[in-house]
Amino acid sequence: MPTVYADASCRVLFDEGYLPVLISRWEGCITESIARQTFAHMDGLLELARQAGDRIIQVVDATASTRPDALTRKVLAELTDAQLERFADAAFMPVFIAIDSALVRGAVTAVNWISRKPVTTAPVASLGAALGDAVERLTAEGIRPPSGLQPSVYVFPEVDGPSVGSSDLG
């Protein structure tokens, strides 16, 4: 079952079933609160990986997200900088991001410009492509890809409960 962070305008879901590939799906317009919760969750996973002597490669499906506001973009850049400083030894770069919206690709570019650190992101057209690139990166590092992960047919697990825009979300 995925881990979910949500409010009235967005939700972020994590599929941790294929670690060291951490798959997340970002839906709607990410808010500052959800961004902070999401990064805190990722920080916890990166700390566990570090303690185990492992590393995580992140794959983000942003195909269902919209452009966050300027304040949230700034917060995302700050959180990214802090995460890179703390967890460079526990994370593979680049972060593979599936983006189909020109506005969201622009927002990712803006976050990279605002960031004080060189953020390595690899935007691709689909989640399958992002997962395929992550598997190739693991293989190049001599790490066996997760058993059962098939990039070309992967579908995010179903999540019970309200979806973005539902009045049932916080």
User: Using one digit for the tens of pLDDT, what is the confidence trace for 10-64?
Assistant: 999 999 999 999 999 999 999 999 999 999 999 999 999 999 999 999 999 999 9
- Does residue 155 lie within any of the structural domains? no
Q: How many domains does the chain divide into?
A: 1
The tokens describing 134, both together, are 């992550």
- Residues 164 and 31: their CA atoms lie apart, in Å, by 12
Please, what is the Cα angle at 22 between 74 and 96, to 5 degrees? 60
- Does residue 162 lie within any of the structural domains? no
The tokens describing 18, both together, are 């294929």
pTM for this model (two decimals): 0.85
pLDDT above 60: residue 164: no
- Does residue 170 lie within any of the structural domains? no
Domain that holds residue 113: 3-140
